[in-house]
Structure 1
């Protein structure tokens, strides 16, 4: 696991009306500071990758659909510098994923239905000076193969 990345398994409380789950609480100390909450939907097969931040951490959750999430540690002084990690998140695996600043991240929607992501950041988005650096989805320095392997 990449240094600084945290995974929280969610507990669902179900009854005949549906379910309830706490996503994040201030007493869990997942985010050092809360900045913004956002939601996005992507269609099947879409790849949204890669980007990273110098100043903010992200906390990701996929409440619907499923996604292959890819992280790559760009931090030169990290014990896990240069490591790539993959997580499968969504309806079938309801987890929260903390992505530290300096770790490139992106995802591919899996299956035949759209995926929705809700994400929290330690800083609000600044349109005049965005803390968002981009890398291509097929960046050779990461060299990640996004294709699904059939056995």
Structure 2
């Protein structure tokens, strides 16, 4: 017998392990297989034929998040971000607030880790935030179509607990 107010789980993945969520307009996702070798594991980070990320990589960073750290919310007017987690477990949340977007007002939530290598491309105008889900440092590589402009950053920010985005990090 069910307990009153129990909620049935909805399908989130197919039998092949693919997410059933629809990506926000312009967001691209590409899972990358790990290549098991005789001395370890090799993972390709980017190939042009994957059709993900900017046509030309102009800037790349490696970022480390402390345990439980949240880096949210930020958005770029011109910059394309492509994120690849290389250590730990990170939640990446995207919010589409673009006026002309077919997915305006919608969210994407990704749980990313080294165990299932995935590239996520975030187009301009998408608000995004990251949270380290691990009890140790997690890190990611982020590459861009434009280099960072020190004198005029293409960075717009809101606090992680803003009520302007319908998502709260926990």
Tell me the TM-score normalized by structure 1.
0.92
How big is each residue's C-alpha offset from its partner over 1:118-140, in whole Å with a ceiling of 9 and x where there is no partner? 01101000001111111111111
d(CA) in 1 for partners of 2:55, 2:94? 20
| Equivalent of 2:71 in 48, 52, 74 | 48
Contact 1:68 1:89 in 2 (8 A): yes
Aligned residue number for residue 98 of structure 1:
121
Contact 2:33 2:116 in 1 (8 A): no
Note the C-alpha offset of 1:14: 1.0
- Taking a change above 3 Å as real, the CA distance of residues 38 and 87 of structure 1, as seen in their structure-2 partners, is same
| Equivalent of 2:43 in 5, 21, 26 | 21
Aligned to 1:138, the other structure's residue is in SS state: coil
d(CA) in 2 for partners of 1:83, 1:38? 28
Contact 2:70 2:130 in 1 (8 A): yes
More divergent stretch after superposition (35-44 vs 13-22): 13-22
Tell me the TM-score normalized by structure 2.
0.82
More divergent stretch after superposition (41-50 vs 19-28): 19-28
d(CA) in 2 for partners of 1:49, 1:40? 14
Contact 1:84 1:142 in 2 (8 A): no
Q: 1:79-90, aligned counterparts within 5 Å?
A: 79-90=102-113
Q: Which has the larger radius of gyration?
A: 2
d(CA) in 1 for partners of 2:39, 2:108? 37
Aligned length: 147
Q: 1:51-90, aligned counterparts within 5 Å?
A: 51-90=74-113
Aligned residue number for residue 159 of structure 2:
136
Aligned to 2:49, the other structure's residue is in SS state: helix
Deviation above 4 Å: which 4+ runs of structure 1?
none
Aligned residue number for residue 5 of structure 1:
27
CA RMSD of aligned residues (A): 1.2
Note the C-alpha offset of 1:16: 2.5
Structure 2's unaligned 5+ residue stretches are 1-22
